[in-house]
Amino acid sequence: MSVQPIDQFCKELKPEIKEALTKASIGSTVARQQSLDQAYPEPGKALHLRELANAIKSVNLADNLEKAVSSLERNNVKVLFAKDADEARKIILDIIKKKNAKNVVKVKSMTTEEIELNAFLGKHGINAVETDLGELIIQIDHERPSHIVKPAIHRKRDDIAASFQKHGIADYDEEPTHITLNARKYLRKKYFEAEVVISGANYVLAKEGAIVLATNEGNARFSMAGAKTHIAIAGFEKVIPSARELSVFLNLLGRSATGQHTTVYTDFVAGPGKAKNSPEEMYLIFMDNGRSDILASRFAEILKCLRCGACMNRCPVFRLVGGHAYRAVYPGPLGIVLSPLLAGEEFCKYADLPKACSLCGGCAEVCPAKIPLPSLIVQMRDEAKRRHCKIPNDVGFKAWSFIATTPRLWKFGIPFNRLANYLPIDKLRFGTLGRWLKARKLPKFKGGEFRKWFKKNG
Ligand code: SF4
């Protein structure tokens, strides 16, 4: 099996985008720490909460799923199961067709990104409009999210304003408040027209038979106020025992994602017709799409993910290359582990991702679910080896490893490194090194002095 070349890792982000991305990621990481310190000044308290989140997610998922199904059905939710993305898309399309609906609004959901739902519905003549501002921005330009919480983190306000103008949403105006107001005006009409709303579910409460939607823009409420049918889709790992345990996650999610004490809106949807003007019919699709296999594997911990994005904010590689470089829907440390696993038969297509990690351990320090990401990433490298995935730069690494582990060869080669200071290596544009150099400059070689120093002082 072979994989795609890693050119995309080398694709240079525009300097101003790289700077904005780094600034935003560092800002979120700092805000996370401040928010946790403020809420839990006692030493070890925040860590205890993260351990609790991990422990809650460790409880018997099968039992909770069973309980959730009966409570949801008691609340008149139609519960359906999809074994994979194909089946999930088909179920959703069938419901929409049965309702004869043309106007669909969507609440931000990574699960629907995972199954590429918008493109699929588009092919069947259904325009599903994203109602989260970031998702709307990337949807109109047919892009993928570059971050799981801030999907348009790679976009600048002037190009968003230009895009709004191009797509007839509003006249050019790059003032951030005006961009938001223009999107609001555009979306209000869509809420009124909507016949169906599609959402994910941040959590599914087994005891209460409800889904929980955590949003910042109030778009979930607006979407549900107009549409008559609500279709929610979630991986089965989103089930937690009850509302009691939810408090642990709500305390961690907003803080980990953006440093907020909590997300601005937390909606509990416990079946259709419960609130004034709410949808008259509600479906919840539990999707597997490879999750059962992950649960049975040594990577089961990754299913505890809360989708907060803290690991990517903290990751030095993500900050430099941006989310699109990971090629799959989940970027950063989370994606490095999850994307190859979700790819199933196409595992090797993403087998190079675990190499895009310096193993600095920062992601594990911030993960609210205490997922041991660096250890999973190392195991993922091992998994790629076991599956005999061919990774483009493996030959180079093997050669380097041979030299680095043969002291005589290493010592012999050191003086030759100086040649790099005089040869036009930076101009190389082919092979792995050439692709790497497209986005980087080689630093001047200054080495070779350590041995001399060690001989003298060691
Ligand atoms: S792996 Fe952890 S830090 Fe990363 S998105 Fe999931 S919960 Fe957040």
210 lines ligand 1 (CB under 6 A): no
| pLDDT at residue number 10 | 45
Of 286, 254, 331, the C-alpha closest to 73 is: 286
As a whole number of angstroms, the distance between CA 6 and CA 353 comes to 9
Helix 243-258 to helix 45-58 angle, to the nearest 10 degrees? 120
Q: Is the CB of 315 under 6 A from ligand 1?
A: no
- The finding on whether 303 has its CB within 6 A of some atom of ligand 1 is no
Residue 105 three-state SS = strand
Please say whether the beta carbons of 311 and 278 come within 8 A: no
Q: What is the Å distance from ligand 1's center to 149 Cα? A: 11
| Tokens standing for residue 133 | 């501002």
Please choose from 308, 330, 341, 373 the residue to mutate so as to test ligand 1's pocket, defined by most ligand atoms within 8 A of CB.
Answer: 308
> Is the distance from CB of 340 to CB of 355 less than 8 angstroms?
no
pLDDT of residue 454: 85
Regarding the beta carbon of 72 and ligand 1, being less than 6 Å apart is answered no
331 lines ligand 1 (CB under 6 A): no
CB 62 within 8 A of CB 355: no
Domains of the chain are 7-15+299-386 (1.10.1060.10), 44-289 (3.40.50.10420), 399-457 (no CATH)
- Whole-number pLDDT of residue 343: 95
Q: How many CB atoms lie within 10 A of CB 221?
A: 17
Q: Which of 133, 114, 130, 134 is nearest to 122 (CA)?
A: 130
pLDDT for 168 equals 95
Name 127's bridge partners: 103
Distance CA(347)–CA(3), nearest Å, equals 9
Q: Distance between CA 36 and CA 46 in Å, rounded? A: 7
**Per-residue pLDDT at 245:** 96
Looking at residue 92, what is its pLDDT?
Answer: 98
pTM equals 0.88
Mutation choice for ligand 1 from 240, 371, 373, 375, CB with most ligand atoms inside 8 A = 371
CB of 337 closer than 6 angstroms to any ligand 1 atom: no
Look at residues 438, 130, 151 and name the one whose alpha carbon lies nearest to residue 323.
Answer: 151
Query: Are 171 and 177 within 8 A, CB to CB?
Result: no
pLDDT of the chain, 458 residues: tens digit per residue: 444 444 444 456 777 888 888 999 999 999 999 999 999 999 999 999 999 999 999 988 999 999 999 999 999 999 999 999 999 999 999 999 999 999 999 999 999 999 999 999 999 999 999 999 999 999 999 999 999 999 999 999 999 999 999 999 999 999 999 999 999 999 999 999 999 999 999 999 999 999 999 999 999 999 999 899 999 999 999 999 999 999 999 999 999 999 999 999 999 999 998 888 889 999 999 999 999 999 999 999 999 999 999 999 999 999 988 999 999 999 999 999 999 999 999 999 999 999 989 999 999 999 999 999 999 999 999 999 999 998 876 777 788 889 999 999 988 888 888 888 888 888 888 877 787 787 777 888 877 678 788 888 87
